[in-house]
Structure 1
Amino acid sequence: MLASLKEWPVKMVTNTAEEQEWNARLLDTRMMLSSIKKHAHSSDSAVACQFEGQPVGLALISVSGELEAHEDLDHSKGVVVDYLVTHPGTTGVGGALIEQIVNTSNESGLEGRVQLSQVSTSGKAAYLALGFVEEGGLKMTLTPSAEHNQDRWTQQDGQWRLKKYASKPLLAT
């Protein structure tokens, strides 16, 4: 259960850059889980990722535009990621969640477009690597069909796929 992250030890005394990075990721995860707990009822849908039966990632998304926290995002231009959190000890989970969200956007007639307001500066590089572009402030938008994303995204059997995950099964929700 995601709430068990609360029990994880946080070492505030850091000796290495690796420990500092781990602590920052853990604190970001705790902050995001707290926000999700407060606002989960406001989102239209949830996308989750599990590994060996344990949750390692969760995203809350909105298509309708009713979440007050994202009044600055235009829901007619893409599905909005209200919250996205991954286990701090994983890699690739965020990309798998974004891939599923892109397909939800596509199924909603929004051509796979996804928007978000980046909360953590540590996530910025990951979003840019997935093909998001900065729109000003913390707002970022992903359009998988954009020319700059031709080397990142492809369509297989009507589904948008990250090329680096194309040989893996699509995340089941």
Structure 2
Amino acid sequence: MPNLQTLITATLVGIGGTLIFDAVMALMARFLGYTATNWRMVGRWMGHIPNGQFIQRSLKDAKPILGETILGWSFHYAIGIGYGLLLALIWGADWFADPQLAQPMSLSIALLVLPYFIMMPGMGLGIAASRAPSPNVARLKSVFGHSVFGLGLFLAALVLEIVS
């Protein structure tokens, strides 16, 4: 089990990686017209889960949930923190002392199983976005987003390693 300092560092790396991801997505939206994940809709999906609705046929037609935007964004950052903690659990404190790109990139790519087999089906898009209007585009956007996030985790760890 990692020590408290490693858990704090991992949490900060997860938050930092998520912030970098969000910054890149915002820049791409602004300058390239890229459509990023709508975290409000993720919050709507999550808000229906406690009522036993794990899968939405049409998320846009699902009843809005009070606080769905906050819920979606909180989930987004909680997942980012979770990835940072996974880095600590799998590679230990040594990785944070000497971050390498391979570990967060391999983790981010391996965990594409989560959006492909949980999030996308739950939000009504089918397994690996099979029911999306452009399934391959949706899949590639997930690969791209996870790659940017993996790079973000690495950069956040580098910054923390330099300033500590």
Q: State the TM bucket, normalised to the shorter chain.
A: 0.3 to 0.5
RCO higher in 1 or 2 (8 Å CA, sep ≥ 6)?
2
Give the alignment's TM-score, normalised by structure 2.
0.35
Write 1 or 2 for the structure with the bigger share of strand: 1
Give the alignment's TM-score, normalised by structure 1.
0.34
Write 1 or 2 for the structure with the bigger share of helix: 2
